[in-house]
Amino acid sequence: IAGITQAPTSQILAAGRRMTLRCTQDMRHNAMYWYRQDLGLGLRLIHYSNTAGTTGKGEVPDGYSVSRANTDDFPLTLASAVPSQTSVYFCASSDREDTQYFGPGTRLTVL
């Protein structure tokens, strides 16, 4: 693989279900990010990780959790999905102070 991959590409989920969005990068970047993008709004940061083993909360962290067990993977978990979490989710990575590179996104619909 080259760059950042995300899975699944899209998902329809019943409210109350648990869901993990996967993100893997092979660029050995230290920092990784999860954003959500909603129509008419800018990208909003959910959680981030500056290096493996550490995570931090972004602008809209409620209802989401992350882990960073190694450099390459940064999964995002919705413990109990709600309709307001319907969005497009982008994972990104960077060498912290440098340019962020984005994965292809996951389109999530919560019914």
Partner 1 sequence: GQNIDQPTEMTATEGAIVQINCTYQTSGFNGLFWYQQHAGEAPTFLSYNVLDGLEEKGRFSSFLSRSKGYSYLLLKELQMKDSASYLCASMDSNYQLIWGAGTKLIIKP
Chain residues that interact with partner 1, rule: CB under 8 A? 31, 40-45, 48, 58, 90, 96-97, 99-105
The CA dihedral of 6, 56, 26, 108, to the nearest 10 degrees, is 0
Closest distance between partner 1 and the C-beta of residue 15, in Å?
25
**Nearer Cβ to partner 1, position 22 or 44?**
44
Among residues 105, 104, 102, the alpha carbon closest in space to that of 29 is found at 102
**Nearer Cβ to partner 1, position 45 or 52?**
45
**Nearer Cβ to partner 1, position 14 or 97?**
97
Q: At 91, phi and psi to the nearest 5?
A: -100, 145
**Nearer Cβ to partner 1, position 16 or 104?**
104
